[in-house]
Structure 1
Amino acid sequence: MMFAKKTEQKFGCYCNVFAVWSRSSRWQKASKCKLHIQNLLCSVKVQRTRTECMVRQSRSDIAQLAPYGRFREALPKAKQFYEDERRLLAYDQVKYFCTSILQSFSPLLNQNDVHLLPDETKEAMAGLIFAASRIGELKELQIIRSLFVQRFGQKFDKDCVDLRPGNLVSSEIVKILDTTLPQDAITPEIIMAISQKYQTDFITFVGSASLNNLGNADSDTLARREKATKENPKCLHTDRGESQERDRSKFMR
């Protein structure tokens, strides 16, 4: 009588299945996402520098118009000033979100369920997604947002962009990017305050620059004296030698 040969299940099969599952759960584009976040930090720095120049220019223009009562001409510049100021705050928030994600990036490698990520990482991701829908000049934000959608799904993205109930977007970034300035919010008093602030800062800057120039001049003089002393040590005794010669001539007389 023939008996069928009993086949034994090999442990290696389970190992292969586990290896395939682990590879599928690991984020293949993690390094790409990390690189774009690092590039985003560089772009934020560049955009912040440009916006700061625009803020200074707006302040200067307002300071030239406000003292002469030209508030109608200063009004659009004041509105632009406040918009640029809010943009600077938004850049600071984006920088904070990027830093938070980079500091704890390892959970993103193996976890594709956004609800199982650390709270700080989830809030930073939500902030970047929300900022990507409101800030168009930072191209890396759009790329990072698309990578998050591929990894964590469309629902998380929609919750952040549309501010649906239960979203994880911080109230601070929402206040910065979703607050519109009323038409009558900027009064002549506010314009005058901007002008006075610019004049105060300008006077302080000029005063500190003058003090620095004086300090540099004194240090340069001392440096030249030290150099001359090293090159010709006898110069230290020149005055004393001349006085001794005068004393001798008086004695001979």
Structure 2
Amino acid sequence: MSKLEVGEQSRQRYETRSRPLALWAEFVALYVGLPIFVRITRRTAILLAVIWLAPVFIHYFERRRKPSVYENDWNWRGLRAGLRAVLLRFAVLACLVVLAVWHFTPHALLSLPREHPGTWLLVILLYPVLSVLPQEMIFRSFLLHRYAPLFGVDRGYIAASALAFGYAHLIFLNWVAPAMTAIGGALFAATYRDRRSLALSCFEHALYGCLVFTVGLGQYFYSGSASQH
């Protein structure tokens, strides 16, 4: 074997070993470092910029690098195939959430639509586009395609997506937001894994998000809490 061949094999072995390390560093910087940065700066504007700009840049470069991977990412056929199961699960869980709010904080139940119907309607209309879409891009689609070498595409991916999603909501400085979003993140990740439809995971996320703001849990997800000293 020539020195050139030996050198090429050594380079390939080095790249194989170093790639997971680089991916881990990237994952930690993005999904751990950015929430810490937002928490330290305590600025809502930075939070909004991260929510919007991160998915834009990530998907722009990833789609250029791997256009075939993201070609059918929305997968509207997958939405139609999985819609019934998502709606049935939502019907059951929504009843449980309403009962929990009624039992523990009855004064908060339906507080936003009762007291501020205009604001509630605005949230219902804008939340899916301004919040759900970028979050699903970065916590479901990008995380699966980019970090599959680290977590795989099954249970490891679902766990990573759920934990990263819940961790990102620690900036709201309460335990309800991270707990609920970790559970929701697992549901949305499982939906995306099963159907490979970003449209379906966005739809499911929007259902639960609108439920949260409707039944009186929106106070735990208010971005202003991230900017309080």
Question: TM-score band, normalised by the shorter chain?
Answer: under 0.3
Larger RCO, structures 1/2 (Cα 8 Å, 6+ apart): 2
TM-score, normalised by the number of residues in structure 1: 0.25
Q: Which has the higher helix share?
A: 2
Larger radius of gyration: 1
